[in-house]
Amino acid sequence: MVYLDAGNSHWQSVGNAAKRLLDAGVEHAQGFSLNVSNFFATGPSDRYGTWVSDCLWFATKGPDYARGHTDYCASQYYSPAAPNDGQPGDSVDADDPSTWHWTDDWFRQNVGTPPLDQLTHFVVDTGRNGQGAWTPPPGKYGGDPQIWCNPPGRGIGDRPTAATGVPLVDAYLWIKTVGQSDGACNRNIPGGTVDPEYGTVDPAAGTWWPAQAMTLVQNANPPLTPPH
């Protein structure tokens, strides 16, 4: 089975992800994958993936005016259904899934409930997302803190299974090997080679990192149960 990589819920807007998948020929694959080698929580990933799937249907099998227009789809960044006047509660924030109800409303109003057998399925990498994404304290790093690169305090997520309970999610998988380093991160400190979150130079990408593996195990959510 082939699933095309569609990034994660904080990378591309729903419409952009859907267009890229169509351009790549997703209709000839089993579906798409999300969160590979990343840390975003399972619930928001499921929700985002469902929107992408709905958008694929909307732009290919939906109303005539929508054909070819993935750009009409609402997203986790902006929803045409929201007032978007900048006031609290009136905009969509990719970092706050509690605001995503605007996007849910848009799909309910404009897409409805497409036939399940016409929607594209997907899988989610849950190997390191048990604690969700890392957010450093405000102002700690001046530039990009590289939240994707060996973030501290993360944990293993949902166990690999095909029994996801989500109609469009074929499986939760550990695609990125648990315990492998993402590479030498320096949180974009000029001239720095040491990762200030660990006080050491991180192992090269793909290198087994026992200390990180132990942290992921200790912070697993749901917790890992030792054998009896």
Domain contains 48: yes
pLDDT at 99: 82
Burial 185-206 (b: 16+ CB within 10 A, else e): bbbeeeeeeebebeeeebbeee
The whole-number pLDDT of residue 223 equals 95
226 inside domain: no
CA dihedral for 17, 27, 119, 33, sign (positive or negative): negative
The tokens 């497409």 sit on which residue?
114
Residue 116 lies in a domain: yes
What's the token pair of residue 154?
Answer: 């993360």
Q: Could you read off the pLDDT of 31-82 as tens digits, one per residue?
A: 999 999 999 999 999 999 999 999 999 999 999 999 999 999 998 887 656 6
- The side-by-side arrangement of strands in the sheet containing 3-5 is 3-5, 31-34, 121-125, 169-173
Q: Which of 80-84, 98-102, 207-211 has the lowest mean pLDDT?
A: 80-84
Overall domain count for the chain: 1
Residue 49 has a CB neighbour count (10 Å cut-off) of 28
- Provide the residue range defining the domain that includes 11: 3-218
Q: What count of other Cβ atoms lies within 10 Å of the Cβ of residue 140?
A: 10
Report yes or no on 204 lying in a domain: yes
This prediction's pTM: 0.92
Confidence of residue 98 (pLDDT cuts 50, 70, 90): confident
Any domain includes 224: no
Give residue 95's pLDDT.
Answer: 79
The residue-averaged pLDDT of 15-43 equals 97
**DSSP-derived secondary structure letter, 121:** E
Dump pLDDT digits (tens) for 173-205: 999 999 999 999 999 988 889 999 999 999 999
Is position 138 within any domain?
yes
3-state secondary structure of 222: coil
> Considering the domain boundaries, does residue 223 fall inside one?
no
Of 138, 228, 137, 214, nearest to 178 by C-alpha is 214
d(CA 203, CA 182): 8
| pLDDT at site 88 | 59
Checking if the pLDDT of 165 tops 60, the result is yes
**Is the separation of the CB atoms in 180 and 188 below 8 Å?**
no
* pLDDT the model gives residue 192: 83
